[in-house]
Structure 1
Amino acid sequence: MVPRCGVPDVVNGTRKGSKKYNRKLKSLHGVSHYEFFPGPLRWPSTQTHLRYRFASSARQVPGTENVRSICAQAFQRWAQVTTFTFEEVPSTSAADITIGFHRGNHGDRSPFDGFKGTYAHANPPGGGNFHFDAYETWSANPGPNEIDLESVSVHEIGHLLGLNHSPDLPDAIMYPYFEYGMVKRDLNRDDIDGIRALYGLQ
């Protein structure tokens, strides 16, 4: 019943329709909680500058007027701990990532389920779609009945870069559940360790 990210969770070591994969361990600091998509999936080493554009089927979604600057801030949080750089391009330009607000069935075989269900979803590397549910009540500065745009954006960008959920670590950005009124924008140590391990930065 808690609003959550729409990327499927791991069930008994597997995602629906995907191969089994192993949990990663940190060498000196105990068990880590980060997970990768099976493969693991990552952007090629030659593709560290990612372009993104905005294209929505839902128009004039309240509370999203500053979504461009908010997403830029969310991308920057990941840029600070990786070798990635990010650039917004016009909606008509070719891009690696497409961000948008949509309602219900929006053409990606993962329809949104309305208010306070799945609030967003994003593909792992290669897919490039990052979708917000336009039925949710979004805000740049959320009250108790609103959901924070930047917190959700930071989480979904983690998926775009190749991190799956961290289902056992509520403090992690990649934890799948999120409450209305909550603000969680800073990367946890586990998020940073995960993305650096995925791209060989440790």
Structure 2
Amino acid sequence: MASKPCSTRITSPLFHLLMLLLLPLSIQSHSTQQHQEPFKSLEGCHKGQTIKGLHAIKQYLEKFGYLPHHDHNKTGSGDDDTFDDSLESAIKSYQLNYHLNVTGILDGKTLQDMALPRCGVPDIVDGRSCSMRSGKKGSMAHFSFFPSNPRWPPSKRQLTYGFLPGVQVIGAQDLRSICRSAFDRWARVSHFTFQETQNANTADLKIGFYRGNHGDKAPFDGSGGILAHAFAPPNGRFHFDADERWATNAVAGAFDVESIAVNEIGHLLGLGHSSVREAIMFSHISDGVKKVDLHGDDIQGIRTLYNMP
């Protein structure tokens, strides 16, 4: 099953204008504050208002599954700035998933969360399954799966991975070492083993760095938003956005490669997002953060998906 992948970014005209103005700063710093700026003018917006810029919120919520997909090249596609019933409902769903105050209003905390870089896998896939559930009956778990719970069959307990020839962003040896470490973290808590292969074309899992439209119907958006995405089993594709500033450790203004890799590998194995902010499978992450240790919710999720004790 080829589910939509994991990504992080907003694409409003105001956002792009701000990025042009801040270009000299953004070269040195990829700060969370810069991502939040375009949304400040929308703080407090509520149903019944028409405010310039609301269409960008609608596009964001559409991208991550909270609103139906529209063809934005057609008139009347939903690219308007009217705060209607459907937008209020979508915001409430978003707030519920992220354990925010459920008001349907674009309060500061909701806008702050939306402005953070994130994984590109939608929170609601095909309108059928919510990636972050507000708790499962009888437990405090907040992990989730893709629709229909796709997973690797019992015959595929050893998965091979290889590196595609996309854009070289970090050294090949560094990337190999980082990914080996990221795979080992999942191997320690599951019945999977992972083996690198030199032939990426025949590998179960295919890793690479790409820019913009790269052929998987999930184009990257340039620096500052969608960091990476991966697909549910048995698709096996895992792509980083080459336009981001990447680092091999926690560096202010850059994103740690291993932190993102551990999250995306969870998707490759069949996990959706978690609403636990400390979990690896939480969708958002800030620059300068190293987050590589699996949380109890991540471990419970993978073991539940594969019926492990």
- Does the TM-score normalized on the shorter chain lie above 0.5? yes
- Matching residue of 1:51: 160
1:91 to 199, 204, 220: 199
Q: Do 1:64 and 1:138's aligned partners in 2 also have CA atoms closer than 8 Å?
A: no
1:9 to 110, 123, 129: 123
AA of the residue aligned to 1:48: R
Residue 71, structure 1, aligned to residue 179, structure 2 = yes
Q: 1:111 to 1:163 in 2, by over 3 A?
A: same
AA of the residue aligned to 1:6: G
Which structure carries more strand by proportion? 1
Say what the alpha-carbon RMSD is for the aligned residues.
1.8
2:146 to 20, 33, 37: 37
**Matched residue count:** 193
More relative contact order, 1 or 2 (CA 8 Å, 6+ apart): 1
Q: Which has the larger radius of gyration?
A: 2
Q: Do 1:62 and 1:137's aligned partners in 2 also have CA atoms closer than 8 Å?
A: no
Provide the C-alpha distance between the structure 2 equivalents of 1:174 and 1:93, rounded to a whole number of angstroms. Answer: 27
Q: Deviations over 1:14-73 (max 9, x none)?
A: x2x25347957375xx32100011111110011100001100321x31477511110000
Which structure carries more helix by proportion? 2
- Matching residue of 1:138: 246
Residue 175, structure 1, aligned to residue 282, structure 2 = yes
* Structure 2 residue matching 1:53: 3-state secondary structure: strand
Provide the C-alpha distance between the structure 2 equivalents of 1:37 and 1:159, rounded to a whole number of angstroms. Answer: 9
Q: 1:4 to 1:194 in 2, by over 3 A?
A: same
Provide the C-alpha distance between the structure 1 equivalents of 2:130 and 2:120, rounded to a whole number of angstroms. Answer: 20
- Matching residue of 1:192: 299
AA of the residue aligned to 2:301: G
Residue 25, structure 1, aligned to residue 136, structure 2 = yes
Identity between Structure 1 and Structure 2 (%)? 49
Structure 1 residue runs of 5 or longer lacking an equivalent are none
2:169 to 58, 61, 69: 61
AA of the residue aligned to 1:197: T
Q: Do 2:161 and 2:206's aligned partners in 1 also have CA atoms closer than 8 Å?
A: yes
Q: 1:103 to 1:122 in 2, by over 3 A?
A: same
In the TM superposition, structure 1's runs of 4+ consecutive aligned residues that sit over 6 Å from their partners are: none
Provide the C-alpha distance between the structure 2 equivalents of 1:26 and 1:200, rounded to a whole number of angstroms. Answer: 17
| Deviating more after overlay: 140-149 vs 114-123 | 140-149
Provide the C-alpha distance between the structure 2 equivalents of 1:186 and 1:108, rounded to a whole number of angstroms. Answer: 29
Q: Do 2:163 and 2:200's aligned partners in 1 also have CA atoms closer than 8 Å?
A: no
* Structure 1 residue matching 2:195: 3-state secondary structure: strand
Q: 1:111 to 1:21 in 2, by over 3 A?
A: closer
- Matching residue of 2:237: 129
| Deviating more after overlay: 85-94 vs 121-130 | 85-94
Relative to the length of structure 1, the TM-score reads 0.90
